[in-house]
A and B are shown apart, each in its own frame.
Chain A
Amino acid sequence: DIQMTQSPSTLSASVGDRVTITCRASQSISSWLAWYQQKPGKAPKLLIYKASSLESGVPSRFSGSGSGTEFTLTISSLQPDDFATYHCQQYNSYPWTFGQGTKVEIK
């Protein structure tokens, strides 16, 4: 199975900050990576697919980059609604696997 490792596990930031979350795959997954946002008690929400494609309706302050084994999710200017947990997921091969999540907290 492909292992996905996110860093950091927790991130403290302020409104307006630029935030970057990293996701590493244990082997190359080309660009078959998605990012999700999840708030407490809610289902995940797709933000980014194919490493850098923005899902319809997602604000443009979210962006994704990377290929192969290293990927990043960037929030250009953190907004109050963005405090949540973010998950990366590879869909290069089954079983699909997720990172352990990164919680973005208010500083």
Chain B
Amino acid sequence: EVQLAESGGGLVQPGGSLRLSCAASGFTFSSYWMHWVRQVPGKGLVWVSRINSDGRSTDCADSVKGRFTISRDNAKNTLYLQMNSLRVEDTAVYYCGKDRPGGSVDYWGQGTLVTVSS
């Protein structure tokens, strides 16, 4: 059974940093691209970043470019999102997701809430 479990969310002040983790199990993690998607409670979904299977290719939304970095450790079956220079508008639930080859996200974690506030 595919399982994704995010951790690392919490309350942080504007300008601060946080690292999210996503522990994967139930599939061959090293074979799949992975994504981060966020959602302000009550609002729509926003794609944040993606990483290819070996970690050498990444992409991210303009709103987080230069501040957020996606990475992965295939030996630990874990996906990361390093978030620096956090802003109030980064407050959201952050989901990790497994890429369905060809596109879309076929499995999602339960999400972790990041709150940026003074």
Within 8 Å by CB of A91, from B45, B61, B104, lies: B104
Main DSSP-derived SS at the B contact region: strand
Q: Report which of A32, A55, A101 forms a contact with B103, defined as CB distance below 8 A.
A: A32
- Tell whether, in the assembled complex, residue A99 and residue B61 are in contact, meaning their CB atoms are under 8 Å apart: no
Interchain CB contact under 8 A, B103 and A43: no
A87 lies within 8 A of B44 (CB): yes
Indicate whether A43 sits within 8 Å of B111 (C-beta atoms), given known contacts A34-B103, A91-B103. yes
Indicate if the CB atoms of A50 and B102 lie closer than 8 Å.
Answer: yes
A45 / chain B contacts, CB cutoff of 8 Å = 108
Q: Which one of A43, A49, A96 contacts B100 once the chains associate, using CB atoms below 8 Å?
A: A49
Q: In the docked arrangement, what's the CA distance between A43 and B22, Å?
A: 14
Which B residues are closer than 8 A to A by beta carbons? 35, 44-47, 50, 59-62, 95, 100, 102-111
Listed in ascending order, the chain A residues whose CB lies under 8 Å from chain B are: 32, 34, 36, 42-46, 49-50, 55, 87, 89, 91, 94-101
